[in-house]
Amino acid sequence: MNRLQQLFQQQQRDLLSIYYTAGYPNLNDTLDIAEELEKAGADFLEVGFPYSDPVADGPIIQASSKQALDNGMTLPILFEQLKDLRQRVNIPILLMGYVNVVLQYGVEAFCQKCQEVGVDGCIIPDLPMYEYEELYQSTFEKYGLSNIFLVTPQTSEERIRKIDRLSNAFIYLVSSSATTGSNLAVSESATAYFKRIADMNLKSPVVIGFGISNKETYQAASQYASGAIIGSAFVKNIDANNLKGSIKEFMGQFK
Amino acid sequence: MNYFVDEKGYYGDFGGAYIPEMLYPNVEELRQQYQAIIDDEQFQQEFKALLKDYVGRPSPLYLAKRLSDKYGANIFLKREDLNHTGAHKINNTIGQILLAEKLGKKRIIAETGAGQHGVATATVCALRGLECVVYMGEVDIKRQAPNVARMKMLGAKVVAATSGSKTLKDATNEAMRDWIANPVDTHYIIGSVVGPHPYPDMVAQFQSIISFETKKQLQEQTGKSLPDYVLACVGGGSNAMGMFYHFIADESVKLIAVEAAGKGVDSGFSAATTTLGKEGVLHGSRSILMQTPDGQVVEPHSVSAGLDYPGIGPQHAHLFKTGRGLYASITDDEALQAGLLLTQYEGIIPAIESAHALAYLEKMQFKAGDNVVVCLSGRGDKDMETYMKYFNL
């Protein structure tokens, strides 16, 4: 059992997860940010490895990805930075990025490295379920990695059931039909959708992301799920000149 | 060997639908319905009627006599440049707008590089009275003002893609993001044989009218329906796939795809994807693309905006890898010279894209009597500024 699975075994309420882009604002901030987030109360983290063409992302994460690439971030460099991860950070870590970067690194080499440095799972939004099952699942399992699937308001019930069967950590519930960084309106249709999923009694815990930006949206999402993921709002608030202070201040609002 | 799409959406090692879950329902709806819609008799009647009466098809197959004398073979030009809007692009947009109507979509989005596909999309939206939004790189909007004006005149909204390199690949990303945000009422008209399955197959089928007509016209003009060679330029590869389609199964027909070498394959300013690229995933399908060792997409270069794309369609990747097609490249200079040559030998000013295919004739060895078809995918009016600068006209 990896750290992520252990976490969900112990706790399935009010989990707070933060996404940030590795290599942003500076190339070597990756572990400092993770350490600071753990101190400030994050329950688990998604560390984004940047890609030149992130179609599922809105302007903020596009910009942080571009800056990270301009800073020289690559997957080999990220794994090098994560060498000391488990000396400094205890909470579960997921890597999040697009499939082409993983393909070029080599799927098996990628999974092996993840296990070596202590990464617990991955979110690869453009890796289709069919390809995952046919080509990747056995490798992911061999190295103890959890693959996280996304579900959207348009995902059919049949497909959600299948995703539930394939999941071994949690399901990432995308809050609305949008790219990352749009603001969640806690509308009737959004809460109806969250309720619909909650009523399905899935075996996997559900965490809500996309559009979660502050305490209000975090609390609203937490009512219907095990917790919520914040990405763009966090990335936008990082201050390169006051890294630790800006993280502490942002996280303070959730206490 | 199967050169066409299999039931999983693959061409050998290439293809598939590498899309985020947010796009899955849209693409899945299309996947389940596209073939039945295309095969429907009423659809075919409407499609053929519009191609005939609105686009002006069949486009002529013209035996270019002076060019034939020069190269010592029978050089035929498939005149897609004579289509309404001046290129092959409209074959696809007519097909897709009818399909979008059958799917009940009210809003059309598209990406465009130089603006040719954007104009072809805005044209069919005006024809059918549908809302049209075209994404175009900020850099391209500045470079292609006349096409931006055409799209606006046709009633389309042109939205600047300001992310990444602000060119075609980023316009494609923005169109995909729009589709994520508008999953129910919107159809995305992709302009080439790229994107997630079923797009490469669907666009190839709409463009296959090119080789369908060519076969008949060759039969009438030469007494044989099969040529020895067909040539076409490749960016994403839609005119080439249309030109190859009905000849792929006949292995006696040599298929030659010509990519843009830009300033030279080794210059760092090139779009010669099969030479410089590696297998990977771009815009929803597994194919061959130009990228860094870390998998970041590399910005291509070509004098012709239509070939300025870092990937090729998955079916092309399959034809390349299996050796069924020969993939070559032509530099900016060679293409511009070939454009001038056609103009002065035959009185036809070709698009610089199409001139890449013509330029490859110089590099070939023919036997007397060889029948060679070159897809003249577009006309050169849009390229006059480039020609003027290059030749000091």
Q: Are B338 and B358 in contact (CB under 8 A)?
A: yes
Per-residue pLDDT of A16-31, as tens digits, reads: 999 999 999 999 999 9
* Angle, helix B332-346 to helix B352-359, in steps of 10 degrees: 90
Is A3 among the domain residues?
no
Q: What is the model's pLDDT at position A236?
A: 97
Among chain B residues, the shortest Cα distance to A160 is held by B21
Contact partners, residue A125, CB within 8 Å, separation at least 6:
A56, A96, A98, A150, B20, B21
The pLDDT of B251-277, averaged and rounded, is: 97
| Prior bond of B198 cis (ω within 30°) | yes
From residue B22, alpha-carbon distances to A125, A189, B345 in Å are 9, 17, 52
Average pLDDT across chain B, whole number = 96
Token reading at A48 = 């984004």
Judged against a pLDDT cut of 90, whether residue B258 lies above it is answered with yes
Is A193 among the domain residues?
yes
User: Residue A215 is part of which domain span?
Assistant: 13-252
Is A121 among the domain residues?
yes
Per-residue pLDDT of B333-377, as tens digits, reads: 999 999 999 999 999 999 999 999 999 999 999 999 999 999 999
Interface touch B296/A52, C-beta < 8 Å: yes
Q: What is the model's pLDDT at position B80?
A: 98
Judged against a pLDDT cut of 90, whether residue A96 lies above it is answered with yes
Per-residue pLDDT of A136-176, as tens digits, reads: 999 999 999 999 999 999 999 999 999 999 999 999 999 98
Least CB–CB distance from B21: residue in A69, A102, A150: A150
Nearest C-alpha of chain A: how many angstroms from B31?
Answer: 15
Q: Which of A27, A49, A53 to mutate to test the interface with B (most CBs of B within 10 A)?
A: A53
Is A8 among the domain residues?
no
Token reading at A105 = 């690194």
Interface touch A56/B284, C-beta < 8 Å: no
Interface touch B18/A55, C-beta < 8 Å: no
Cross-strand bridge partners of residue B160: B136
Judged against a pLDDT cut of 90, whether residue B34 lies above it is answered with yes
The pLDDT of B301-305, averaged and rounded, is: 91
May I ask the CATH class of domain B22-50+89-198?
A: alpha beta
Is A216 labeled as catalytic in the residue annotation?
A: no
Interface confidence (ipTM) of the complex: 0.94
From residue A28, alpha-carbon distances to A21, A62, A81, B187 in Å are 11, 19, 7, 42
Q: What is the model's pLDDT at position A68?
A: 98
Q: What is the CATH number of the domain that holds A195?
A: 3.20.20.70
% of chain A at pLDDT higher than 70: 100
- CATH topology for the B56-86+207-391 domain: Rossmann fold (3.40.50)
Confidence bin at A255 (pLDDT 50/70/90): confident
Judged against a pLDDT cut of 90, whether residue B118 lies above it is answered with yes
Q: CB-based contact (8 Å) between A27 and chain B?
A: no
The pLDDT of A194-204, averaged and rounded, is: 96
Please report the DSSP string for A45-97 in residue order: EEEEPP-S--TT--HHHHHHHHHHHHTT--HHHHHHHGGGHHHH--S-EEEE-
Q: What is the model's pLDDT at position A187?
A: 80
Q: Tell me the domain boundaries of chain B.
A: 22-50+89-198, 56-86+207-391
% of chain A at pLDDT higher than 90: 91
Looking at the 3D structure of chain A, how many domains does it have? 1
CA–CA distance, B75 with B372 (Å, rounded to integer): 5
Q: CB-based contact (8 Å) between A56 and chain B?
A: yes
Sequence letter at residue A132: Y
Interface touch B183/A154, C-beta < 8 Å: yes
At which residue do the structure tokens 């914040």 appear?
A230
Cross-strand bridge partners of residue B363: none
Q: What is the model's pLDDT at position A194?
A: 94
Is A54 among the domain residues?
yes
Judged against a pLDDT cut of 90, whether residue B164 lies above it is answered with no
Cross-strand bridge partners of residue A228: A16, A208
- Range list of β-strands (E), chain A: 15-21, 44-48, 93-96, 121-123, 146-147, 150-151, 171-174, 206-209, 227-230
Least CB–CB distance from B181: residue in A66, A105, A179: A179
Least CB–CB distance from A126: residue in B8, B20, B279: B20
Is A2 among the domain residues?
no
